[in-house]
Amino acid sequence: MEWLEISTENCPVQRTLDLVGEKWTLLILRDAVNGVRRFDEFHRHIGLSEAVLSDRLRKLTASGVLTTVPYREPGSRSRNEYRLTRKGWDLWPVLIALRQWGETHAADPEGPVLDVRHTDCGGQVRVVVECAEEHAALAPREVSVRPGPGARRAG
């Protein structure tokens, strides 16, 4: 089967985008990775409406990307903090890849907002596609793609 003959209804890229492919969702994840935990902090920092923020947080929690942890400020009612789960942290390389692309192709003339470096050696952090066997970085021309076991013929 060729690519155009394959149905995309069960494509993992499409399923991922159904969950996290909306701008506000990615910005919530960006903030969560950088330590934002509370509704009012997300609201203030990202600048989206409370209704949209509530909806996105609810979807991310229902899908297991975020979990809620109750907290209570003295004299206030109990509220929830939002924390990344393992599933949520697995999106970290995606965010780093988006950041890396943005710094290359949509950079601010003043430089990056964050300087992300390896704690041990101080080297810049970057995302690469590598061979699982050889642990070597690959270019697109070095990769072959063929239908997998979940491929279905397009109807």
Taking only Cα atoms into account, the Rg of the chain, rounded to an integer number of angstroms, comes to: 19
SS3 content of the chain, % helix, strand, coil (to 5): 40, 15, 45
pLDDT at 117: 95
Question: Structural domain boundaries of the chain?
Answer: 3-142
pLDDT at 129: 94
Whole-angstrom distance, CA of residue 57 vs CA of residue 7: 31
Angle at 88 between CA 140 and CA 150, to 5 degrees: 50
Question: Tell me, what's the pLDDT at 2?
Answer: 85
Could you read off the pLDDT of 72-127 as tens digits, one per residue? 989 989 999 999 999 999 999 999 999 999 999 999 999 999 999 999 999 999 99
Show the tokens assigned to 15: 């399923």
- Check residue 10 and give its pLDDT: 87
pLDDT digits (tens, 9 = 90+) for 38-73: 999 999 999 999 999 999 999 999 999 999 999 998
> How is domain 3-142 classified at the architecture level of CATH?
Orthogonal Bundle (1.10)
The residues pairing with 70 across neighbouring beta strands, listed in sequence order, are 80
